[in-house]
Structure formats: C-alpha cells, structure tokens
Amino acid sequence: MRERGGGDVSEVILGIGASQGRAVGPVRRVHWQLPAPPHRTIERSDTEREIARFNEARIWARERIRETREQTASTLGEVEANIFDPQILMLEDPELIQGTERYIRENLLSAERACDWRLTELRVAILDAAHLIIVDRLADLQDIRFRVLSRLAGGDEDPLLLPTEPGILVFEDLTPSVAVRLDPELALGLVSAAGSRSAHSAVLARSLGIPSVVGVGPELSRLPNGRMLMIDGGTGRLTLDPDPREIEAHGQMARRLSELRQHPGTQDPTPTYTADGERVYLRANIDQPGDVAAAKQVGAEGVGLFRSEFLVIGRRVIPSEEEQFVAYREVLGGFPDQQVTLRTFDIGGDKFPLFLEMPPEENPYLGWRAIRICLDLPDLFRNQLRAAIRAGGAKGRMRLLIPFVISEDEILRTREILDSVVEDVAGGTKVSLGVMVETPALAETLDIVARHLDFISLGTNDLTQYSLAVDRGNARLQHLADPLHPAMVRMYARVFETATAANLDIGVCGDLAADPVGLGLLLGLGFRDLSLAPQSIPEVRDLIEMVSTEVLREVCGDLSVPERVVGIRARLNEYLEATVPPETMTATS
C-alpha cells in the first residue's frame, strides 16, 4: 500500500499491533549468528563422551536461563520472570534429553547434530499443534537451540549481536531472552515476521514500553537496513519513509512522554473536558500491577480494564487466592480514590494456562474460552472472585467485568456464583458486575440482559472482529477490520442507546478511542468513559480538549439514514481537519 504525504510517497505495511506506542527511526535488521551444526558422525567408542558434551551444554544453557530469569525478576518483576520457566522445563524434558541421547547412541551422531535433529522434531510437533499458545513456544525452542548449540560450538555468550545505534529492530522472530536484553534507548521499536500479541516476547516488549508490531510475514523483506520507518504498535501499521510532518509530530509527542517519565508518580488523576465543557473520563488499560506506574504518570483516572491473565498464562499451577489478592490490592493501592475494573480470566483463544487440559479446536477464538471456561470450572472462578472481593470488590473499589458473554444464562450463572462468594466473604454486600460487549449476540440482546448488570464496557476490537468475520490476528486482512464500517457504527449507537435507557454505566476499552476519527465518533455518539493504553492518554486528552461534542453530535446525525452512516468517516475527517492542528492529528493517527 502506498500513501502520498508532503509531496513524497510513503509505503504502508500492515502487521499486528503487539505493544502500544509509536516510534520512528532507521531500520536495524538483526540476524542470528550461529552456523548450522556440522554433518559428522562419531565412533561408537565416543558415544558417552558426546552424551556428556550434550548434557554439559544443556545444563549450562539451563543455568544461563535461570540467571536471566533472576535478572528479569529484579528489573521487571516476577510476572515477566515466569516467562522463562517453560524454557527451563524444556531443557529438563525427557523427550529432549532421551531423544538426543538415542540419536547419539543409535545413529552415531555428534552431540550438535543429534540435539539439532531432536529440536527440529519438537519444532515440527509444535507447528502441528492446534493451540496458538503452543505455536508461540517456537520462540522458546529457538532460544534453547541457540544457547545449547552455541555452547557445543565452544561459545560462552549468546550468539546474537544487537545493534549499538538507536533504531527500529527488525527480526524474523524475537525470542524472550533477546527481548529482555533490549535497551529502550536503542530499541526504539520492534518488528518481527512471526509472533502474536500474546507471545512471550510481546509481553516483555510491553513491560519495557517498547512499541512492537508482529506477524508481518514475508513483507519483512520490504524493510531494508537503514530505511526510515515509523511503526504504530497499537494498529500494527508500518510506514516506510514517513513524511517530515509525521516525523516532527512524533518527535513532539515523544518528548512530552519522555518528560512525563522523568517525573514518575507526580501527576494526579487529570480531569478532561471537551472544548464545550463536557466531562470525559480517561482510564488506563493495564496487563499487570507493574503497569500502574505508567498509568499514574499520564494522569489516568483509574483503571478501565485490568487484564488478569498474567496470573495464569504459562503457569502449571493455579494461582492461589492469596497471590491474586496481593496483585489486586496492589493495583487498588495505586488508585485509592479511583475506579478499578477487573476483567475476569479471559483465557482460551491465544491464551492458555499450562494447568488446563485444553481440547484441540479448529477455531479456538470461538471455542472453549473466557466465561465458558470459568463457568465450567467453578473452583477456578470462585478463587478469583474471592480474591477480588477481599481486595476491594465488597467496598465498591473494584468492579468485575465478564468477557465473551453471549447469553442471559451466562450472566445469571455468573451472578449466582458471585452472590454465593459475596455472602461467604463479605456478608452479602453488593458487588458491581458488568460485561464486555464484544459479541454481536450480546450487542443485539443488551436490552434483555441489562436488568442483571450494573455497567457495560464496549470492546471495539473483538466486536469488530466477530461482527465483520475478520481475524484480527491475520495481518493480510487488517484492511478489512474497519471499526467504522457502517454496521459497526450503527452497533455502537444502539449499544449506547440501550445501555443509557437501562441506566447502566457505559465505558469503552478498545483501540477505537485512540484513533482521532474513532474518538470523534465515540464522543459524537455520547460515550464519555474511555479506557486506553497509558501511552495513548496524553495525546487523546489533547485532542478531546480541542473538539466540541455538540458539533460532533451534529456530524454523526441520524445514522438510520444510509447516506449519513456511509459518509460519517468523511464528515468526521472534515471537522477534525478544520479544528485540530495537523501535528496533533498526525501524532494520534
């Protein structure tokens, strides 16, 4: 795709946004520096020596990973450190050890060749797996391969040379042990051909605050070394040779965010008003307690979406009630006077705990996941609810948000379990319960289920995916995932009208609010409570303060008229271009 701006032509490549934020800089391609193992056989008398060489390299690699885990725990936290546990377990797996030793004994292969063969077999088995989270283990396997083979080749260091100059780092695949070594001052942004938003390296990129785009595939070949590249880790958009206006707008926002980071914890929750005085709440989306600091730095008014999956992903043991309680209380402590909304476990799809026996599924995104798992495994669900209620749910400090709901029955069953837990933990105190409106079924039946709810949160990302039948994890289809499709615009309007009529609190927690046109639409439809990635809050606040909701309501108009709904993007663009300075539009788009 090519776009013209400022007299020059920019090339646009679409990937999958994995870590929010924007960055611009020269492309720095990163290549693995490890030769293929030599094709050599051994004498039968040398088999035990080769087995000993393999085990020494395996144990060496395991200890290096343990050191990396300890360093990660001290710098980023225990959640990120847990990412390395699967690698340690892989290196202790009898399938790897016995399979490699068998190739040495029976095929008389060298330790390097035998290990490489066995790892290749394990790689094929992973590729044949049905679950995306298992496929994501390819990066873990790559880490292991390079560490073990490097040691067998006589190396004492990781066989990867990272650039020493700032830029956008471009990888075929980014492994966790490389991601955790990245310096945000040099790694301005990350792009990879493989990967997903839930991959371990993407989790680490988010913790490090480095914008990241994954799933670019063969389009990676269009990113030559040294070319100027702008990336958007929210939308997955890559722009080769951006025009000077885009670069300058990015620079202004980057300097502002840098100033905020240099004064951690000093910004109080900041009320936001439109140009005509309408109050708008800007809350933060967070993945774990460690994200609270970034949310507070930008003046977030609480947490609109606290994702709880960090407690279970990659874990072989169900987290205890006490562990969850401590995590939830930490977030509440960061916002003592602000609203915090906890989303219950949204597992399944591309997020699988190791302690669950997940059935093979043709389409896991539409399979056994989220509230379906929680209702089928009530002990897991009760454990989380007890921890949340103890932490602050019973005092109205923490609201509970249920994902992937399609029916009244699911809400009633959830309410029954919740009421039982509340009675046991807090003597029957009412706890605020809401649902993510992210399926067309719920959007169309909200009037039926509203009486059982206290609030809703419009999940624009998944609602767009399921309504338009477009996989948001498929970079090739991103041009079809249009959140301003006429069907989506009308659906947002109906959801708002229905929830308002039912006197429900209404929030939005999708990426749509971080896009200038999407933000204009939401404000024009009446939405006033928005939850975003912390990095997006300052620029969105700037834009909100420049626009008039009264004018935006007129711009939206009567969406039942075909011409009005089809032309809404053009009308919003026209208003924003006449109202908002170009550098602000560029910085937020």
Q: What is the pLDDT of residues 176-205, one digit of tens each?
A: 888 888 888 899 999 998 877 777 788 888
Q: What pLDDT is stored for residue 52 in this prediction?
A: 96
**pLDDT score for 2:** 47
Q: What is the DSSP letter of 165?
A: S
Distance of CA 113 to the CA centre of its chain: 37
pLDDT for residue 200: 76
Model's pTM, two decimal places?
0.80
Instruction: List, by residue range, all CATH 1.10.274.10 domains of the chain.
Output: 44-152
pLDDT of amino acid 160: 58
Residue intervals in the chain for CATH 3.50.30.10: 2-30+162-242
Q: Which fold has domain 2-30+162-242?
A: Glucose Oxidase; domain 1 (3.50.30)
Tell me, what's the pLDDT at 267? Answer: 66
Question: 31 burial class (0-12, 13-18, 19+ CB within 10 angstroms)?
Answer: exposed
35-90 tens-digit pLDDT: 678 778 889 999 999 999 999 999 999 998 999 889 888 888 777 888 888 889 89
Residue by residue, DSSP assigns 256-319 as: HHHHHHTSTT-PPP--EE-TT--EEEEEEEESSGGGHHHHHHTT--SEEEEE-GGGTTT-SSPP
Residues marked active site are found at 200, 509
Superfamily classification of domain 44-152: PtsI, HPr-binding domain (1.10.274.10)
Nearest partner of 370 among 279, 307, 453, 441, judged by Cα: 307
Which residue reads 């290549």 in tokens?
A: 31
Please state whether beta strands 455-458 and 433-437 pair in parallel, antiparallel, or not at all (unpaired): parallel
The predicted structure's pLDDT at residue 135: 57
pLDDT score of 245: 79
424 vs 385, 394, 413, 421, 453, CA distance in Å?
Answer: 11, 11, 17, 5, 21
Which residues in the chain show pLDDT less than 50?
Answer: 1-7, 266, 587
Alpha carbons 514 and 226: distance in angstroms, whole number: 29
